[in-house]
């Protein structure tokens, strides 16, 4: 998305989070870990490196805490959330030794803070909910001298842990 698409192409995303209800009014706390893999096409070599790396793999490790609001209508739930967090993105680097004909690959850790806002829809199937969620993540640091932002879309199932734990 935006400048990010100059150097990252989406490959795979996953997240693990909890929706912790805050009272009876629909508010919830949403701590989440997000892992994203991207194809990395380096634009400019990093300091100390001569070559750019193409078709590499970059990985994000991001933690976020958001506050959300959920409205339940029959078996459907509609929700939105906004929060902040941080983490790091590993981007590959390569150096070439022309004497030994060897390539050495390293990873560079790019730390960054993020802001995230999003929305989702859930459908209750008993002890779990099927869901679709989309969010916008904005990174406060640059990668390859460009802004980092992405729109992860998640589809999956959320078990109702409070319902499961109450049966124990």
Percent of the chain exceeding pLDDT 70 equals: 90
How far is residue 65's CA from residue 97's CA, in Å, rounded to a whole number? 44
- Those residues whose C-beta lies under 8 Å from the C-beta of residue 128, and which sit 6 or more positions away, are 157, 158, 159, 160
pLDDT tops 60 at residue 54? yes
Name the burial class of residue 18, with classes exposed (0-12), middle (13-18) and buried (19+) by CB atoms within 10 angstroms of its CB: exposed
pLDDT tops 90 at residue 116? yes
- pLDDT digit string, tens, across residues 117-134: 999 999 999 888 999 999
| Percent helix, percent strand, percent coil in the chain, to nearest 5 | 5, 70, 25
pTM, rounded to two decimals: 0.82
- pLDDT digit string, tens, across residues 29-43: 999 999 998 888 888
- Token pair, residue 24, equals 């009876």
How far is residue 4's CA from residue 69's CA, in Å, rounded to a whole number? 29
Domains of the chain: 2-166 (2.40.160)
């Amino acid at each position: 998305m935006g400048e990010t698409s100059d150097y990252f192409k989406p490959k795979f995303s996953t997240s693990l989070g909890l929706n912790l209800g805050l009272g009876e009014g629909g508010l919830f706390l949403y701590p989440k870990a997000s892992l994203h893999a991207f194809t990395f096409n380096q634009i400019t070599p990093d300091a100390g490196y001569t070559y750019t790396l193409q078709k590499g793999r970059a990985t994000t490790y991001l933690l976020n805490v958001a506050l959300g609001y959920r409205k339940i209508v029959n078996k459907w739930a509609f929700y939105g959330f906004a929060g902040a967090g941080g983490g790091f993105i590993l981007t590959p680097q390569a150096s070439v030794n022309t004497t030994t004909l060897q390539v050495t690959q390293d990873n560079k850790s790019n730390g960054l803070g993020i802001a995230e806002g999003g929305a989702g829809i859930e459908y209750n199937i008993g002890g779990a909910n099927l869901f679709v969620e989309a969010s916008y993540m904005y990174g406060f640091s640059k990668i390859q001298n460009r802004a980092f932002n992405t729109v992860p879309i998640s589809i999956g199932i959320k078990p109702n842990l409070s319902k499961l734990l109450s049966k124990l």
